[in-house]
A and B are shown apart, each in its own frame.
Chain A
Amino acid sequence: MSRDPEEVNKLTENTYKNVMEQFNPGLRNLINLGKNYEKAVNVMIVAGRAYYDSLAKIGDISAGSPVSKELGQVLVEISRTHKKLNDSLEESFKKFHKEIISELEKKTDLDVKYMTYLETVSSRQSDIQRFIAEGCREALLEEKRRFCFLVDKHCSFTQHMHFYHVQCADFLKSKLPGWQEICSDATKVPEKVRMMIDEIRTPGSTPVSGTPQPSPMVERNTVIGNDFYPHHENASNVPPAPSGRAYTSPLVDMFNNPAAAPKAPSEKLNHSADSSEDASLSRSTSVATGLNIMKRQKVKTIFPHTAGSNKTLLSFAQGDIITLLVAEEKDGWLYGEHDTTRVPAPIRSISSVNLVEKGEVVLPPPDYLGASQADKRAESAKGPAPKTPTDRAEPTKPDMNGIVKPPFLRTVGEPTIDVTWLQLSPNSMTTRHQKFCFSNSRNVLQFQSLTPFQSARWNPVGGFCEKLLPSDRWQWSDVSGLKHQQLDSFTLPSPHWEWESDWYVDENIGGEPTEKGIVSHDDPEQLPDPFNDISIGGWEITDEPLGRLSVWAVSLQGRVWYRENVCHYNPEGSTWSLITTPGEVVQISCGPYDLLWATLWEGQAIVREGIDRNNPQGISWSTVESPSSENGIMHVSVGVDVVWCVTKDRKVWFRRGVNSHNPCGTSWIEMVGEMMMVTVGLNNQVWGIGCDDRAIYFRQGVTPSELSGKTWKAIVSGRESDRSQTGSSTSLLSAGCFFTDDIQTQTSAIVQGDADTSSDTELPSVPTNPVNTLPMGAASSSSGNSTGSQTEVSADLTADPLDSDQGEATAASMSHEKANLEMHKSAASPNPSAELQWTNIDLKEAQKHPVLSVSSFADTSSLSSLGVFSAGAEDQYGADEHPLWAWVSGGGCLVDLHSPLKWFTAPSGLSSSVQSLSLSITPAQTAAWRKQIFQQLSERTKRELENFRHYEQAIEQSVWVKTGALQWWRNWKPHKWIDVRVALEQFTGSDGMRDSILFIYYMYHEEKKYIHVFLNEVTIIVEVLNEAKHSFALYTPERTKQRWPIRLAATTEQEMHDWLSLLTMSCCESRRIQGPPSHHAIWSVTCKGDIFVSEPTPELEAGPQLMPCDQMFWRQVGGHLRLLECNNRGVVWGIGYDHTAWVHTGGHGGGFSPGLASSADNIYTQTDVKCVYIYENQRWNPVTGYSSRGLPTDRYMWSDASGLQECTKINTKPPSPQWSWVSDWYIDFGVSGGTDREGWQYAADFPASYHGHKTMKDFVRRRRWARKCKIVTNGPWLEVPPVTLWDISIIPSSDADAEAAVALWAISDKGDVLCRLGVTQQTPAGTSWLHVGTDQPFISISIGAFYQVWAIARDGSAFYRGSVSPNKPAGDCWYHIPSPQKQKLKQVSVGRTSVFVLDTNGNLWYRQGITPSYPQGSAWDHVSNNIRKMSVGPLDQLWVIADKVQGSHSLSCGTVCHRIGVQPMEPKGLSWDYGIGGGWEHITVRGNATEASRVAAHDTSEENLAVSKDLEDEESKGKTEHSKTPLMVSESQELDRNAVNC
């Protein structure tokens, strides 16, 4: 290779760097710019659309003139063409977005992952040259690919643009001449007109009236439509559609994705010129919605209107009947035909809108609640003050009705708060305005932010972008496919409305605004732009003046406004003040307390901080990131102390940890379900609109302790039109149940305003104008449902705003002092003799019901109690379809936690007997009944038990239970800690045996489940040290096999110890193990220093059925040790981490085990000290030499030994709370491999073998820092001073002479060999040390059953001590035994005859050729690798601690393994059996000399032998040592983190 690999490497790295640091940021920038570009083009498109719409309208106007008819057509056509081009431009940009922006975005996201991956790959390249070259190529190619991609995408976009321009050119070229031609001759007059003019000129012709035809439109329709542009079949630029014409009801939006609804409001005249385009669309929708069968609606005028000079308007007298040709109100205009004169003309909707035709019912717009009715009523009471409608005055709203019928939840006269606020639907799609009303018991005011009619002010794009498209707009519009239709709803560029004009134009009664009336005097300069969203709350801010409210609004430009001085007696407030925000705000939500969240266009949420009584506006914003990086927050809703949000991918999130001190909360929790929006009610109850089915959902199980609730439950909201079929009885029933008061059925057609109200002139009131909101939907509903005389207005308080005959507004004055609630079921008949059933329900004393929330309504059928409005009552669609909801607001809804909600079952009507019967039992009845039962039961108990409590129970309640809350490392992926309830049930079986079951209850997909463990199956309960958790693991044989214990964590160490001791005790009890460990016990120590002991059974080492070692039961013994040695006489010694020697006192328990589980005496305090190590890593670079700046791929500069964990001096903590630091950090020079004078070890790279001096090839270095920590615990251990020890071995004596001395050899921590004298069963501590001289320090020692002493020197070689005997305990001399080739030995263990050694590389060797006459043996025989520690017992049984044992789920280090098949003829055994594992450090089996059934096993052992011989023969050909069964596993496999590791 010509190039230096180093160089290539650098090149590769540079390339990646280049990509990561320059290309990618550039790309991100590009994406941002692209988005802006997109946005701008969108603006252009929308503006263009608006422009051409207007153009079309002008064209339309000109078409009215006979002369410029043609020009009008041209204009219309031009506008159409341009719109088409506009659309195709939009298409192009959609592609631009889809193909470039989103693609690139996706790429950049992926890129990070990919690059990291590549980098790790490249970091390995140093190993293999080939890879370097490939990697380099890969890198360069990758870079190129990137650029290619970019170029490619842009090429294709350019292609699109090119096509677009060509298209434009073609299109325009073909049309242009025609247009020019038409306008070429301004003097040219059409033939017809000329003839007409000629006729006029001609004397004797019919005199023409000087008055223009009031309505030439009918003729126009035929003439123009057919004669001139016959090819445009639908080019009816004429207003009133004949009956066949399908109107595009704005309601169609309801059945589409609301978010997909109009991109921009566009205005639509009655005679909209672009109807040709939307005709097809509306047809398709109207088919679905049944709009075609709409009947023409009739209205009755409520006051006279004289057209005056403007002859195009319709004149009429009060009470005239007008048939609406275009019933859809447009900016307050309707188009209708006088019933008597039959002259069609535009009329002010406001002036007339009062329905009526026989059998038809006008539904009041749901938007106008009782409050507004009350306004009206109150106002009417104020006294009439006639007022002529002025065109510009009314705050009419375009197609308010029907577009959104927000299902809303509301309170009725909320008594506790005394303020009801309703946030009326910000019909986020089409209407850009907001309304909200306040009401309280004294006055009722309505307060509207005006419709942004005015095109100039109205920034369609701004609004469009901000509100309509919090998420991907194209997606939505694709879904809806109704974009043209939305153009229609563009508001007319109406004259600038003025704030000085009244807010409430009420032509009905002509009420004049009172002083109190909301006449805004705001300086227009200070006015916020039109509102996008508004939210009211803050009435319960601590200590704030009573009645104060916070009103927050978001304008279309994304600014946040706060309404100053809003309070009960001044609900309109004074001025808007602008609150600066860190970005453009889309939506805002204000809780009843001090919580205020808003969402930004970019997808973050911002939280207002510092809101208190002095600062209701708050002080500052803080930003909360979206829960998911790709999808920003779309909608947020706050309650008292909860925050819910919906991200753009419709996921619902709950904010954890929100409270008044921390309004931002701590983290997001994803909730199940996908929602369009969510809303939070007064006591944190949550409603949402489902994303898929668009149904209203209620969050069940929201309680103060569980704010996030449990499940979503759909609220069944039947459609009114369905229910209306059942006639008034149903509605009466429901209403009656509802308010539990007088119900009157009247046959009168008139609902009179409440007399009290009318007389109450004191009421400050505001004129309101609900008339103009009269829903077209309502009207058409009645027409669609001609037979149903009653369309139930179920939602309690919505009353018909109009009371036709009297011309007086009726309203349910919920706010009236007397609090008479009236519910007007409106149906006005023009004909007094109509057999219409009128229902007037007077709701007396409604406020007596405390908390008039849903809870008190719950008894009734579902719908009414909720107060949900059906979406589109006018649509007769299939009964199985449920309404598709667009908006829900529960901000005023207080749900009583304890009352059952009946929203979830559909009232199936009177025919369903079962349902109705079950409904007939009201909760009140149930409660009474329950009380009765309860009473009877307690009486019975009293009678039967009171005097007999001293009697014996027939069934002993021996079962007892401990329950608690723990965390569980859950079984399924992604693995994490989840909260569980844990119950331990202990019971006495029929045989008097105690047994216990541990239940762990958890939630799985909202479902409660549990796992249970029989404690008599548990093999070990072991504490797992973990910095973050006080956790422990429960193993059963099965789980040991799986290396997958049940892991539980407690919140405190004490709690964990309680559980540990209880469970351990229960386990011991169920296995009937108690008292101190036997002499044969097998001891083991975990990596953490915990001591475990297991009682061996005879079957463990021999017998026809060998007991698998994963079935061994281990119990913990208190104390903390590094290693333990024992013999079969009960002499047990241990060595701590600080090398202190300890001797077992014969007790048991200690540690965490209190009381019975511990022996009463023999428990002493034990301490241990160990070091915690961290590594300081450095890399060499040519400039600065070694520095703490590594490569990006390098390990942490402060890490643990593996380099995987970052460990700094500061953040490293003692292993558990039981430990405490007893020193400061110091450099550790005692590292294997040696260090330089500063403690550094050098290596070529991480991770590699380190050496203590720097060479030319070394690029990294590390040094170890240590810090001592100390544990104080207790256990059955006594210190053996003063010598500190490194290793120890006790003779596994076979003779049973209790008095005989026990040989005990040890190695001091300096490496001296010591022999303990005076050790007996009675005095296990012995009396004194005898020093045995050596040439060099030793590290391991072992004494066999026949006084064979073997030792390992520090140089890794073995020594045999000759002539050791009871009489000569120290022996005479050492015989050197060379180690296996190239291996340094580290441990030796001698059993009865076998000698095994372990080298530093984890290989286990067996000493061959040992005979009594030649005890040193002849050669080493390899047995296995991956061994950490071993113990050979008096039966020559071999147990080891193995590393890297593969379980079914994971690999774990430090596993207890048992060599099986060990026989006199097969001393090395045959295979491994795996026991408890993960984190074991040491085991000793030297106490287990149970020889039972050894003989019985002989047969099988012979067989085994035979088998193994065969194997040997076979394998000998391949010269494989058959007994070498490696514990080998692939080194590259990582340790599974789920396993309990050390």
Chain B
Amino acid sequence: MSMRAFKWFLNSGRLGAVTTSLGKQKRSIGMTDDKDVLRDVWFGRIPTCFTLYQDEITEREAEPYYLLLPRISYLTLVTDKVKKHFQKVMRQEEVSEIWFEYEGTPLKWHYPIGLLFDLHASNTALPWSITVHFKNFPEKDLLHCHSKDVIEAHFMACIKEADALKHKSQVINEMQKKDHKQLWMGLQNDKFEQFWAINRKLMEYPPEDNGFRYIPFRIYQVHKTFFALLSDDTVE
């Protein structure tokens, strides 16, 4: 697979991983007011087929599990059902931390699902086939995710990082704890309105400021860690 670069727009409230072709476009601020687009982005779904890794020891045959994964979310956040499904056929003592792999590549749970798909599997036939592992956690490739708190912490860190670039963290710092919570709950519960009620604030800037200080975006590459570019509004 090519080393295509994907931009992951933090500034679009982590909603911007549309496709590469979109990435060429300069994202206008007005877009955040465009509910139709935002909705379409938010409600992007990837049909996925989860199959248990053949080496896992099961008590009986494990049926594959089909799920529509939200693009704007994290794997470990939305795969409780998958876990439950496969745990049923496994011996309890065999179950340890779940992890996912696609065509031999461990999937980083801390990348958004849409990104993972676009990055690794955009050319495959649907549904996206993901292999589920319960053993042999690839310590060097993946971060552990013991609970949803970890995901939340990661998500909030990204948001804060982005806002630091956009508004010198002013917006995120002015928010109350419950706003942060709402943002996270919105993501967790796939609640568009709830999420955007808060995220909108992160995307706004007073007109006299002439835009964000910087537009945060990251370029993700397969087999490499992402890197972030500092780009201000006037670039390109």
Q: Is residue B95 within 8 Å, beta carbon to beta carbon, of the partner chain?
A: no
Is the CB–CB distance between B47 and A944 below 8 Å? yes
Cα–Cα, bound, A954→B190 (Å): 9
Q: Is residue B174 within 8 Å, beta carbon to beta carbon, of the partner chain?
A: no
Of B18, B66, B127, B210, the residue contacting A936 (CB under 8 A) is B18
Identify the closest chain A residue to B186 (Cβ): A959
Chain A residues with CB under 8 Å of B106's CB are none
Chain B residues with CB under 8 Å of A952's CB are 66-68, 81
Beyond A948-B127, A952-B67, is A934–B19 a contact (Cβ under 8 Å)? no
Interface residues of A in 932-954 (CB under 8 A from B): 932-934, 936-938, 940-941, 943-945, 947-948, 951-954
Identify whether the interface residues of A are mostly helix, strand, loop, or mixed: helix
Is the CB–CB distance between A951 and B67 below 8 Å? yes
Of B28, B67, B188, the residue contacting A921 (CB under 8 A) is B28
Chain B residues with CB under 8 Å of A985's CB are 194
Is the CB–CB distance between B40 and A938 below 8 Å? yes
Q: Is residue B164 within 8 Å, beta carbon to beta carbon, of the partner chain?
A: no
Is the CB–CB distance between A940 and B81 below 8 Å? no
Of B26, B31, B68, the residue contacting A948 (CB under 8 A) is B68
Number of interface residues of B (CB under 8 A): 42
Is the CB–CB distance between A941 and B44 below 8 Å? yes
Q: Is residue B112 within 8 Å, beta carbon to beta carbon, of the partner chain?
A: no
Beyond A933-B22, A933-B25, A947-B126, is A954–B81 a contact (Cβ under 8 Å)? yes
Identify the closest chain B residue to A914 (Cβ): B210
Cβ contacts B107-123/A at 8 Å (1 or 0 each): 00000000000000000
Cα–Cα, bound, A905→B34 (Å): 21
Cα–Cα, bound, A941→B48 (Å): 14
Identify the closest chain A residue to B193 (Cβ): A961
Cα–Cα, bound, A904→B206 (Å): 13
Cβ contacts B20-49/A at 8 Å (1 or 0 each): 011001101011001011001101111110
Of A934, A947, A954, the residue contacting B40 (CB under 8 A) is A934
Q: Is residue A917 within 8 Å, beta carbon to beta carbon, of the partner chain?
A: yes
Chain B residues with CB under 8 Å of A934's CB are 36-37, 40
Interface residues of B in 122-145 (CB under 8 A from A): 126-127
Is the CB–CB distance between B47 and A955 below 8 Å? no
Is the CB–CB distance between A955 and B126 below 8 Å? no
Cα–Cα, bound, A961→B18 (Å): 28
Cα–Cα, bound, A945→B78 (Å): 18
Q: Is residue B101 within 8 Å, beta carbon to beta carbon, of the partner chain?
A: no
Identify the closest chain B residue to A999 (Cβ): B197
Cα–Cα, bound, A648→B203 (Å): 42
Cα–Cα, bound, A1113→B172 (Å): 37
Q: In whole Å, how far is A572's beta carbon from the nearest beta carbon of chain B?
A: 47
Beyond A947-B126, A954-B67, is A940–B34 a contact (Cβ under 8 Å)? no
Cβ contacts A918-932/B at 8 Å (1 or 0 each): 100100001001101
Q: In whole Å, how far is A1012's beta carbon from the nearest beta carbon of chain B?
A: 10
Q: Is residue A987 within 8 Å, beta carbon to beta carbon, of the partner chain?
A: yes
Is the CB–CB distance between B45 and A945 below 8 Å? yes
Chain A residues with CB under 8 Å of B216's CB are none
Is the CB–CB distance between A937 and B41 below 8 Å? yes
Q: Is residue A184 within 8 Å, beta carbon to beta carbon, of the partner chain?
A: no
Cα–Cα, bound, A947→B128 (Å): 13
Beyond A933-B37, A934-B36, A940-B44, is A913–B81 a contact (Cβ under 8 Å)? no
Cβ contacts A69-106/B at 8 Å (1 or 0 each): 00000000000000000000000000000000000000
Q: Is residue A22 within 8 Å, beta carbon to beta carbon, of the partner chain?
A: no
Q: Is residue B189 within 8 Å, beta carbon to beta carbon, of the partner chain?
A: yes
Identify the closest chain B residue to A955 (Cβ): B190
Q: Is residue A729 within 8 Å, beta carbon to beta carbon, of the partner chain?
A: no
Q: In whole Å, how far is B191's beta carbon from the nearest beta carbon of chain A?
A: 6
Q: Is residue B52 within 8 Å, beta carbon to beta carbon, of the partner chain?
A: no
Q: Is residue B11 within 8 Å, beta carbon to beta carbon, of the partner chain?
A: no
Identify the closest chain A residue to B25 (Cβ): A929
Is the CB–CB distance between B68 and A954 below 8 Å? yes
Chain B residues with CB under 8 Å of A1105's CB are none
Identify the closest chain A residue to B43 (Cβ): A941
Q: Is residue A211 within 8 Å, beta carbon to beta carbon, of the partner chain?
A: no
Chain A residues with CB under 8 Å of B44's CB are 937, 940-941, 944
Is the CB–CB distance between A936 and B81 below 8 Å? no
Q: In whole Å, how far is A1277's beta carbon from the nearest beta carbon of chain B?
A: 42
Chain B residues with CB under 8 Å of A930's CB are 31, 34, 37
Q: Is residue B104 within 8 Å, beta carbon to beta carbon, of the partner chain?
A: no
Is the CB–CB distance between A954 and B69 below 8 Å? yes
Cα–Cα, bound, A904→B36 (Å): 25
Cα–Cα, bound, A954→B75 (Å): 10
Interface residues of B in 64-105 (CB under 8 A from A): 66-70, 73, 78-79, 81
Chain A residues with CB under 8 Å of B188's CB are 955
Is the CB–CB distance between A955 and B73 below 8 Å? yes
Cα–Cα, bound, A915→B208 (Å): 11
Chain A residues with CB under 8 Å of B18's CB are 933, 936-937, 940
Q: Which of A936, A944, A953, A954 has the most CB of B within 10 A?
A: A954
Identify the closest chain A residue to B36 (Cβ): A934
Cβ contacts A890-916/B at 8 Å (1 or 0 each): 000000000010001100000001110
Of A915, A921, A987, the residue contacting B189 (CB under 8 A) is A987
Beyond A915-B210, A952-B81, is A926–B68 a contact (Cβ under 8 Å)? no
Identify the closest chain A residue to B33 (Cβ): A900
Q: Is residue B176 within 8 Å, beta carbon to beta carbon, of the partner chain?
A: no
Of A905, A917, A936, A957, the residue contacting B22 (CB under 8 A) is A936
Cα–Cα, bound, A544→B78 (Å): 65
Q: In whole Å, how far is B84's beta carbon from the nearest beta carbon of chain A?
A: 12
Chain B residues with CB under 8 Å of A987's CB are 189, 191
Beyond A940-B44, A957-B190, is A914–B211 a contact (Cβ under 8 Å)? yes
Chain A residues with CB under 8 Å of B79's CB are 954
Chain A residues with CB under 8 Å of B28's CB are 921, 926, 929
Is the CB–CB distance between B73 and A936 below 8 Å? no
Is the CB–CB distance between A943 and B40 below 8 Å? no
Of B30, B66, B73, B194, the residue contacting A926 (CB under 8 A) is B30
Q: In whole Å, how far is A785's beta carbon from the nearest beta carbon of chain B?
A: 29
Q: Is residue B234 within 8 Å, beta carbon to beta carbon, of the partner chain?
A: yes
Cα–Cα, bound, A943→B128 (Å): 12
Cα–Cα, bound, A48→B44 (Å): 81
Q: Is residue B233 within 8 Å, beta carbon to beta carbon, of the partner chain?
A: yes
Cα–Cα, bound, A861→B188 (Å): 43
Is the CB–CB distance between A914 and B41 below 8 Å? no
Chain A residues with CB under 8 Å of B43's CB are 941
Cα–Cα, bound, A910→B87 (Å): 65
Identify the closest chain A residue to B65 (Cβ): A952
Is the CB–CB distance between B126 and A944 below 8 Å? yes
Cα–Cα, bound, A954→B234 (Å): 39
Cβ contacts B204-221/A at 8 Å (1 or 0 each): 000100110000000000
Q: Which of A917, A921, A951, A953 has the most CB of B within 10 A?
A: A951
Chain B residues with CB under 8 Å of A918's CB are 211, 233
Chain B residues with CB under 8 Å of A940's CB are 18-19, 44
Identify the closest chain A residue to B82 (Cβ): A954
Cα–Cα, bound, A921→B81 (Å): 46
Cβ contacts A736-758/B at 8 Å (1 or 0 each): 00000000000000000000000
Chain B residues with CB under 8 Å of A957's CB are 190
Cα–Cα, bound, A963→B22 (Å): 35
Is the CB–CB distance between A937 and B37 below 8 Å? yes
Cα–Cα, bound, A933→B36 (Å): 11
Is the CB–CB distance between A936 and B21 below 8 Å? yes
Query: Can you report 24 residue pairs joining A to B where beta carbons are below 8 Å apart?
Result: A918-B233, A926-B30, A929-B28, A933-B22, A933-B31, A934-B36, A936-B21, A937-B40, A937-B44, A941-B44, A941-B45, A944-B47, A944-B126, A945-B45, A945-B47, A948-B127, A951-B48, A951-B67, A954-B67, A954-B70, A955-B70, A957-B190, A959-B189, A987-B189
The 5 closest A-B pairs by CB, nearest first: A948-B47, A954-B78, A955-B190, A937-B40, A951-B68
With A936-B22, A953-B68, A954-B73 known, 12 other A-B pairs at CB within 8 A are A926-B28, A930-B37, A936-B21, A944-B46, A944-B47, A944-B126, A945-B47, A948-B127, A951-B68, A954-B67, A955-B189, A959-B189
